[in-house]
Structure 1
Amino acid sequence: MQSRPILILILAGGLISLIAMGSRAAFGLFLEPVSSEFGWGREVFGLSLAIQNIVWGLSQPFASAIADKYGSGRTLVVSGIVYAAGLFLMSQTGSAMELHLSAGLMIGLGLSGTGFGVVIGSVGRAVPEEKRSMALGIVGASGSLGQFLMVPMGQAFLSSYGWSMALVLIGCCALLMIPASAWVRGRAEDSAAAGAASLSAAIREAAGNGSYWLLFFGFFVCGFHVTFVAVHLPAYIVDMNVAPKYGAIALSVVGLFNVIGSLASGYLGGKYSKKYLLSTLYFLRAALFVAFILIPISPVTIIVFAATLGLLWLSTVPLTSGLVAVLFGPKYMTTLFGFVFFGHQVGAFLGAWIGGVAFDMFGSYDIVWWMSVGLGVLSGVLHWPIREGLTVTRAAASTG
């Protein structure tokens, strides 16, 4: 593939990630107004987003396998339609069950095809190994740029039109993913990239690899962290008697600084050990959470916290997906990253749900913040023993 088509692929994939991940990042803004209008506890909205994340995780390996077999473009088109439809139906919700079906089930299914998994696999197959880490960093940075752009846009929609019309307008933005999907094409079988002889062989090889499972459980922690913060930080800020606008500002700042973090992660991942970079990221997250818990909260500390967290936010994505390609080759990277991403989404389910349950039970998020600290340390430890190199099967294939 020539450089120009690769550039178009990266730009189109980046646009899809921008819209999909940016829209998702804005959902936390709707927790308080939707819950207040219907008289719900925060567990209801939190459970809807927890369902969204676990459905996303459960369906991600299947969406990835479909993309590997039948093509990324078709998978992205169908998923984009489902995502937009979920947003439109969410705007009309009138009961907890309707919220669970729209915000939870439908958007979760839509994210499985439009989130990082399918786009990362297409980019990973197309880009040469020496440039792959940076290309994956650009895709990750695009998702973060979406958070920076779409969270304040969502807040502006909320302030001007109310939560229902705000969701309709975000749904219109989601429709832009459909034409962009035409440029993100390709199947695993059409690729000359290194990897197992078949999809089933790739899955068997990964399932028997201890380093792959360490990646799985480590990425679980990332899902817990980012979803707890994205869903509950705006409400936590209001609880701390800080103006609600700082919730949107904080999430936007996280997105802005993660553009820097993701690009830096992609660059450093091409030069240094990915597993040690991941361990460092998780240890730094744990230290940051401790500081945020102990230092009195104010607009200044919120912005400093958000900026620092942004550098560490989705910087894990290019490193984790890059390690999958290092271990097993990029040919079936979409599917193999999809299974690792399921671990991320189990953590995301628990981060969204436990945050709501903890608040309804104890009237604060303190216990969940400390859980986040412990999990950050655990993930830092889990990445350390990963064997960062060719698997036996791939090494044999590359020399045979």
Structure 2
Amino acid sequence: MKKSFHYQGTIPASKSILNRALICASYAFESERHKKLIITGDSSCDDVIKMKEALSILKTKFQNSSSFVNIPATVYDCGAAGTVLRFLSLRMSRIPGTHILKGSERLLQRPQQDLLDLFKILGINYEINKTSMTLKSEGWKNINNPILVQRGVSSQFASGLLLNAWALTEDLTLDMKGEPMSEGYLQMTIDLVSQLGMNIEKKGSQLIVKKNSFITQSSYHAESDLSSLFAVAAFSVLNGDCEFKDFPLPSLQPDVEFLDFFKKMKIPFEIINDYLKIKTTSDFYGLEANLKNCPDLFPVLAVLCAFAKTPSQLYGAPQLVYKESNRIAKVSELLNLIGVKNTPQSDGMTIFPIDRGNLTAIKSFSYDTDHDHRLAFAAALVKSQDIPINILGPEVVSKSFPEFWDVIKARP
């Protein structure tokens, strides 16, 4: 028998926003012309901890050296975090010296060629193997010419450049090429650095960072993580009700689009002041949605759609195969295990409604989250419906939302 679920509280800060803000704040280590940035809002997730640890080492090295010249070779641990590796490597490439970034094998296997191409353009020597990337830098070079930035796999490469374009002596021009992926996250970066004081002009496909951009703000608030919040919201739709305090509207995060999805699905919610309130319902409908700007919603949204009254079509996110796992394949596997008809496509999936009358006939099975936190969130929705699933690797939620199992009051 399912227990009624209720949650009221504030979800921890967005790891995407925090890691961007932390990179920017680190430039105050170098020059007093940057205001010291105090960041409010926090998260204890693995990705943020790794970024904080790395930047703490960098700060200590700077304090001990009193200069960024000839800093000894240092190892920075990125764990399994793509944003940490990509943003931090570009941060370190601004500093003359040797920098070693280590990470999990899976992290280094994820698409990094566009990042390596940027290093070549910037005159950064590098070596990469299964578990580490070594940079030998004399600082950024060749910035007087437009830098070609491919965005067909990820927006993080362009974001990494912008986050590290402070205090340049020349304008930096990013020439964006390819079909944009996760463009909402690039816009998040543009909005964030602009709020902090960076002067950016947009001309067609080019972004131009004006020289001598310095941080002019002394404080910045990192809003709640909407990817994590959505996992709890979807859980609530199936199981109870929730009230999220300090819900950010407007939001920098592209995942705020889930509110539009809920409207289309006829899922009841209301926003009063800074509270988002959601109530459970079994009377909601399928969805046709383009996830181009919010691919992180896919695993949980796909499972939620399986319990809708009509079929759903989720599309527009080919980058899903490059995430912590191949999320299209792994979500299809999960849905197949509970008897949900689905048709995977290269950029998403068609999902047909589950036969709720047959839920009790599903035999016990195990599901491997494959080191992917968002698959653990998705599997939690399945388990909440009294389906006998054994979730393997539930601790992976620590990557983005270590409080998840406590928030939903469930044991994995």
Structure-1-length-normalised TM-score:
0.27
Q: When you count strand as a share of all residues, which structure comes out higher?
A: 2
Q: When you count helix as a share of all residues, which structure comes out higher?
A: 1
Highest CA radius of gyration, 1 or 2?
2
Structure-2-length-normalised TM-score:
0.27
